[in-house]
Amino acid sequence: MDNYGAHKREKATTWLKRHTRFVSHFVPTSPSWMNLVERCFGHLDNKAIKHGVFLSVAGLLASITAFLSAWNENPKHSIWTATVESIEEKLSRYRELSRIQPGCTSPKTRKRGKAAG
């Protein structure tokens, strides 16, 4: 599960305590590997599911299996291209921005032109 608050509500935690076969594992919500997983599901959705008409679960599974077979025929490695320096720079900018308090800047105002007459 991600760290979404709904998983931590009393109703959810009570249910999980009653159903001990389910074990919660919370994962970070913004790691780069998660982006890759979401992208893979996006391809699956766009290429195999979105425009399909499935009359049964078996039909849906067949479409997913066919997509995955084709996808795996030509696998591509994910190569990490970010440098330590670029990551540290982004963290530094984030830390600087996170010091800004809400409401500390005035909203930009648009200048209104004269009404055409």
Q: Sorting pLDDT into bands at 50, 70 and 90, what band is 13? A: confident
CA 99 to chain centre: 25
Tell which wins on pLDDT, 47 or 31: 47
Q: Sorting pLDDT into bands at 50, 70 and 90, what band is 106? A: low
Check whether residue 38 and residue 71 sit in a common domain.
yes
Q: Helices (DSSP H) in the chain: which residue ranges? A: 10-18, 32-44, 57-73, 84-98
Check whether residue 69 and residue 38 sit in a common domain.
yes
The reply to whether 86 falls in a domain is no
| Confidence at residue 101, expressed as pLDDT on a 0 to 100 scale | 63
Alpha-carbon distance values, 7 to 16, 27, 29, 47, 71 (Å): 10, 12, 14, 31, 33
The reply to whether 112 falls in a domain is no
- The domain of 6 spans 1-30
Which pair of tokens denotes residue 112? Answer: 């209104």
Structural domain tally of the chain?
2
Mean pLDDT along residues 42-68: 93
